[in-house]
Amino acid sequence: MLVIFFSWVSGAFAQTPYYHGKTITIITGSQTGDLFDIYARMIATHMGKNIPGNPNILVQNMPGAGHIVAANFVYGVAKPDGLTLLAPNPNLYIDQLIGRQEIKFDWAKFAWIGNASRTTDLLYMRSDAPFKTVEDVRSAKEPPKCGAMGTGTTGYLVPRLLDETIGAKFNIVTGYKGGNEIDLAVE
């Protein structure tokens, strides 16, 4: 009977889940309250309950350069031990494809776990702007301004796509810290 007891105890230690007593940190490249921060916090609320060992889940904001700072950190600084996750803008890979020097990550080496939502891209203007149709934008003497965090974000890619496909010219202003600042600039 004593042998069985010791065997059972050693088996119990071997079965302790990896994440038991640990904390997983989700790094997001957006500011608190921006879309990807909200996604990360929503996921963090439920994720720990669904991982063996029930780890604590924290969200850390690391804004800068349209999520590049966060992606570079997770790729080059964080230990690859499963305790640091990245909640990036999914368009971030474009910055690597176009060869931006700031990119220190290899997008293909990130392991994709999932997506918080299925969204469609949106380009919007104030209702009192002089542009009411796409033709108004195409024929504008001075192109409308669009705000974006960086070149791998929807705020940059949608106007560029419209420029390339239908000749709608935009003046894209990059460098905003997040969507809240872009919304404020629109106002």
**pLDDT-derived band at 10, boundaries 50, 70, 90:** very low
- The strand pair at 171-174 and 145-148 is best described as parallel
Mean pLDDT of 136-165: 88
Whether this prediction's pTM lies above 0.85 is answered by no
* pLDDT tens digits, one per residue of 126-138: 889 999 888 999 8
What residues contact 39, with CB distance under 8 A and at least 6 apart? 28, 87, 116, 117
For the stretch 73-126, pLDDT in tens is: 999 999 999 999 999 887 788 888 888 899 999 988 988 887 776 767 777 888
Query: Residues 153, 159, 163, 166: what is their CA dihedral angle, to the nearest 10 degrees?
Result: 120
Using a 10 angstrom Cβ sphere, with 0-12 exposed, 13-18 middle and 19 or more buried, the burial of residue 8 is exposed
More confident residue, 162 or 15: 162
